[in-house]
Amino acid sequence: MHVRVLGSQDYVPVWQQMQAFTQSRVDSTPDELWLVEHSPVFTLGRNGKMEHVLAPGTIPVLPIDRGGQVTYHGPGQLVVYLLLDIRRKALGVRELVMQIEQSVIDLLANHGVTAAGDRDAPGVYVDGRKIAALGLRVAKGCTYHGLSLNVDMDLEPFQRINPCGYAGLQVTQCKDLGIRQTPLALAGELCEYLAARLQYPVLDWRQN
Protein backbone atom coordinates (compact mmCIF):
# COMPACT_ATOMS: atom_id res chain seq x y z
CA MET A 1 0.00 0.00 0.00
CA HIS A 2 1.22 3.48 -0.87
CA VAL A 3 0.86 6.27 1.70
CA ARG A 4 0.82 9.80 0.29
CA VAL A 5 1.43 12.81 2.55
CA LEU A 6 -0.42 15.71 0.92
CA GLY A 7 0.06 18.36 3.59
CA SER A 8 -2.49 21.18 3.89
CA GLN A 9 -4.82 21.52 0.92
CA ASP A 10 -8.21 22.87 -0.07
CA TYR A 11 -10.94 20.26 -0.21
CA VAL A 12 -12.13 20.34 -3.82
CA PRO A 13 -8.84 19.58 -5.64
CA VAL A 14 -8.17 16.55 -3.43
CA TRP A 15 -11.75 15.32 -3.89
CA GLN A 16 -11.38 15.60 -7.66
CA GLN A 17 -8.06 13.74 -7.53
CA MET A 18 -9.71 10.90 -5.56
CA GLN A 19 -12.45 10.61 -8.16
CA ALA A 20 -9.94 10.60 -11.02
CA PHE A 21 -7.70 8.05 -9.30
CA THR A 22 -10.65 5.71 -8.69
CA GLN A 23 -12.01 6.00 -12.23
CA SER A 24 -8.62 5.36 -13.84
CA ARG A 25 -7.39 2.52 -11.67
CA VAL A 26 -7.04 -1.01 -13.05
CA ASP A 27 -6.86 -4.41 -11.38
CA SER A 28 -3.14 -4.03 -10.68
CA THR A 29 -3.30 -0.49 -9.25
CA PRO A 30 -1.88 -0.46 -5.70
CA ASP A 31 -4.18 0.70 -2.94
CA GLU A 32 -3.35 4.02 -1.32
CA LEU A 33 -3.86 6.06 1.84
CA TRP A 34 -3.83 9.84 1.45
CA LEU A 35 -3.06 12.00 4.48
CA VAL A 36 -4.19 15.61 4.43
CA GLU A 37 -5.35 18.59 6.48
CA HIS A 38 -8.02 20.74 4.87
CA SER A 39 -8.83 24.42 4.91
CA PRO A 40 -12.11 25.09 6.77
CA VAL A 41 -15.09 23.51 5.00
CA PHE A 42 -18.38 21.81 5.78
CA THR A 43 -19.10 18.78 3.58
CA LEU A 44 -22.58 17.38 3.07
CA GLY A 45 -22.93 13.72 2.09
CA ARG A 46 -25.19 12.35 -0.65
CA ASN A 47 -28.15 11.95 1.69
CA GLY A 48 -27.28 15.02 3.72
CA LYS A 49 -29.94 17.56 4.63
CA MET A 50 -29.25 21.27 4.69
CA GLU A 51 -31.39 21.53 7.82
CA HIS A 52 -28.40 20.12 9.71
CA VAL A 53 -26.28 23.10 8.62
CA LEU A 54 -27.33 25.61 11.26
CA ALA A 55 -25.11 28.68 10.86
CA PRO A 56 -22.13 28.12 8.54
CA GLY A 57 -21.11 31.78 8.45
CA THR A 58 -18.22 32.29 6.04
CA ILE A 59 -17.20 28.61 5.97
CA PRO A 60 -18.16 27.01 2.61
CA VAL A 61 -20.73 24.20 2.49
CA LEU A 62 -19.97 21.60 -0.21
CA PRO A 63 -22.41 18.85 -1.28
CA ILE A 64 -20.22 15.85 -2.09
CA ASP A 65 -20.54 12.19 -3.07
CA ARG A 66 -19.68 10.30 0.12
CA GLY A 67 -22.19 8.69 2.42
CA GLY A 68 -23.34 10.33 5.62
CA GLN A 69 -24.58 13.75 6.63
CA VAL A 70 -22.68 16.96 7.39
CA THR A 71 -19.26 17.23 9.00
CA TYR A 72 -16.50 19.81 9.36
CA HIS A 73 -12.89 19.72 8.20
CA GLY A 74 -10.27 22.22 9.27
CA PRO A 75 -6.64 22.73 10.27
CA GLY A 76 -5.47 20.47 13.07
CA GLN A 77 -7.68 17.58 11.94
CA LEU A 78 -6.12 14.47 10.40
CA VAL A 79 -7.99 13.28 7.32
CA VAL A 80 -7.15 9.83 5.94
CA TYR A 81 -8.57 8.92 2.55
CA LEU A 82 -8.73 5.19 1.82
CA LEU A 83 -8.46 4.38 -1.88
CA LEU A 84 -8.92 0.64 -1.75
CA ASP A 85 -9.99 -2.10 -4.15
CA ILE A 86 -12.34 -3.92 -1.81
CA ARG A 87 -13.27 -6.52 -4.42
CA ARG A 88 -9.62 -7.55 -4.60
CA LYS A 89 -9.52 -7.68 -0.80
CA ALA A 90 -12.86 -9.57 -0.66
CA LEU A 91 -13.89 -7.01 1.92
CA GLY A 92 -17.45 -5.82 2.54
CA VAL A 93 -18.21 -2.18 3.26
CA ARG A 94 -19.54 -2.84 6.75
CA GLU A 95 -16.45 -4.90 7.64
CA LEU A 96 -14.24 -2.14 6.26
CA VAL A 97 -16.02 0.48 8.37
CA MET A 98 -15.60 -1.66 11.49
CA GLN A 99 -11.89 -2.16 10.82
CA ILE A 100 -11.37 1.58 10.26
CA GLU A 101 -13.16 2.33 13.52
CA GLN A 102 -11.13 -0.31 15.35
CA SER A 103 -7.88 1.14 14.01
CA VAL A 104 -8.76 4.51 15.55
CA ILE A 105 -9.79 2.76 18.78
CA ASP A 106 -6.42 0.94 18.79
CA LEU A 107 -4.58 4.23 18.28
CA LEU A 108 -6.38 5.95 21.13
CA ALA A 109 -5.92 2.93 23.42
CA ASN A 110 -2.18 3.14 22.81
CA HIS A 111 -2.36 6.63 24.32
CA GLY A 112 -4.47 5.57 27.30
CA VAL A 113 -7.86 6.69 25.94
CA THR A 114 -10.81 4.29 25.86
CA ALA A 115 -13.03 4.72 22.79
CA ALA A 116 -15.80 2.82 21.05
CA GLY A 117 -17.64 2.61 17.74
CA ASP A 118 -21.39 2.77 17.18
CA ARG A 119 -23.04 0.40 14.71
CA ASP A 120 -25.98 2.76 14.20
CA ALA A 121 -23.88 5.93 13.84
CA PRO A 122 -20.48 5.15 12.26
CA GLY A 123 -17.53 6.86 13.87
CA VAL A 124 -15.49 6.68 17.06
CA TYR A 125 -16.63 8.11 20.37
CA VAL A 126 -15.05 8.86 23.75
CA ASP A 127 -17.60 9.08 26.57
CA GLY A 128 -20.30 9.82 24.00
CA ARG A 129 -18.34 12.58 22.26
CA LYS A 130 -17.34 12.04 18.66
CA ILE A 131 -13.63 12.16 17.94
CA ALA A 132 -13.55 10.53 14.48
CA ALA A 133 -16.04 10.62 11.61
CA LEU A 134 -16.32 8.17 8.70
CA GLY A 135 -17.78 8.50 5.23
CA LEU A 136 -17.05 6.39 2.15
CA ARG A 137 -17.99 6.16 -1.50
CA VAL A 138 -17.76 2.91 -3.47
CA ALA A 139 -17.30 3.01 -7.26
CA LYS A 140 -16.15 0.18 -9.53
CA GLY A 141 -15.70 -1.96 -6.41
CA CYS A 142 -13.25 0.59 -4.98
CA THR A 143 -13.53 3.04 -2.11
CA TYR A 144 -12.58 6.65 -1.68
CA HIS A 145 -13.18 9.30 0.99
CA GLY A 146 -12.46 7.92 4.48
CA LEU A 147 -12.06 9.19 8.02
CA SER A 148 -11.30 12.37 9.92
CA LEU A 149 -9.71 12.40 13.38
CA ASN A 150 -9.91 15.54 15.50
CA VAL A 151 -6.37 16.13 16.79
CA ASP A 152 -5.63 19.74 17.77
CA MET A 153 -8.13 22.09 16.17
CA ASP A 154 -10.73 24.78 16.75
CA LEU A 155 -13.88 22.80 17.54
CA GLU A 156 -16.20 25.84 17.41
CA PRO A 157 -17.39 25.20 13.82
CA PHE A 158 -18.95 21.91 14.94
CA GLN A 159 -21.40 24.04 16.94
CA ARG A 160 -22.64 25.48 13.64
CA ILE A 161 -23.95 22.09 12.46
CA ASN A 162 -25.68 18.99 13.75
CA PRO A 163 -22.57 16.79 13.44
CA CYS A 164 -23.33 13.80 11.21
CA GLY A 165 -27.01 14.76 11.43
CA TYR A 166 -27.35 14.42 15.21
CA ALA A 167 -28.64 17.50 17.01
CA GLY A 168 -26.68 18.18 20.18
CA LEU A 169 -23.92 15.66 19.43
CA GLN A 170 -20.76 16.78 21.19
CA VAL A 171 -17.30 16.38 19.73
CA THR A 172 -13.86 16.06 21.28
CA GLN A 173 -10.25 15.89 20.13
CA CYS A 174 -6.97 14.23 20.99
CA LYS A 175 -5.46 17.36 22.55
CA ASP A 176 -8.28 17.63 25.09
CA LEU A 177 -7.76 13.97 26.03
CA GLY A 178 -4.08 14.49 26.84
CA ILE A 179 -2.67 13.30 23.49
CA ARG A 180 -0.24 16.06 22.57
CA GLN A 181 0.95 15.05 19.13
CA THR A 182 0.65 16.61 15.69
CA PRO A 183 -1.75 15.23 13.10
CA LEU A 184 1.17 13.95 11.04
CA ALA A 185 2.75 12.16 14.02
CA LEU A 186 -0.56 10.43 14.77
CA ALA A 187 -0.98 9.66 11.07
CA GLY A 188 2.11 7.48 11.15
CA GLU A 189 0.69 5.42 14.00
CA LEU A 190 -2.80 5.26 12.54
CA CYS A 191 -1.55 4.03 9.17
CA GLU A 192 0.26 1.18 10.91
CA TYR A 193 -2.94 0.16 12.70
CA LEU A 194 -4.95 0.42 9.46
CA ALA A 195 -2.38 -1.68 7.60
CA ALA A 196 -2.50 -4.35 10.30
CA ARG A 197 -6.30 -4.43 10.49
CA LEU A 198 -6.72 -4.49 6.70
CA GLN A 199 -3.84 -6.94 6.16
CA TYR A 200 -1.39 -4.88 4.14
CA PRO A 201 2.11 -6.17 4.98
CA VAL A 202 4.05 -3.18 3.61
CA LEU A 203 3.51 0.59 3.69
CA ASP A 204 5.34 2.59 1.02
CA TRP A 205 5.50 6.22 2.18
CA ARG A 206 5.56 8.89 -0.53
CA GLN A 207 5.82 12.65 -0.01
CA ASN A 208 3.63 14.56 -2.47
Structural domains in the chain, CATH included, are 2-207 (3.30.930.10)
Mean pLDDT of 16-34: 97
Annotated binding site for substrate: 66-73, 133-135, 146-148
164 is catalytic: yes
Average pLDDT over residues 4-32: 97
pLDDT (tens digit, 9 = 90+) per residue, 44-68? 999 889 999 999 999 999 999 998 8
What is the pLDDT confidence band of residue 43, given thresholds at 50, 70 and 90?
very high
Per the annotation, where are the binding residues?
66-73, 133-135, 146-148
pLDDT at 206 over 90: no
pLDDT band at 72 (very low <50, low <70, confident <90, very high): very high
**Which residues is 85 bridged to in the sheet?**
142
Residue 74's pLDDT band, with cuts at 50, 70 and 90, is very high
pTM greater than 0.85 (yes/no): yes
* Catalytic annotation, pick one of 142, 164, 174, 191: 164
Q: Looking at the predicted structure, is the pLDDT value of residue 107 above 90?
A: yes
pLDDT of residue 184 exceeding 80, the answer is yes
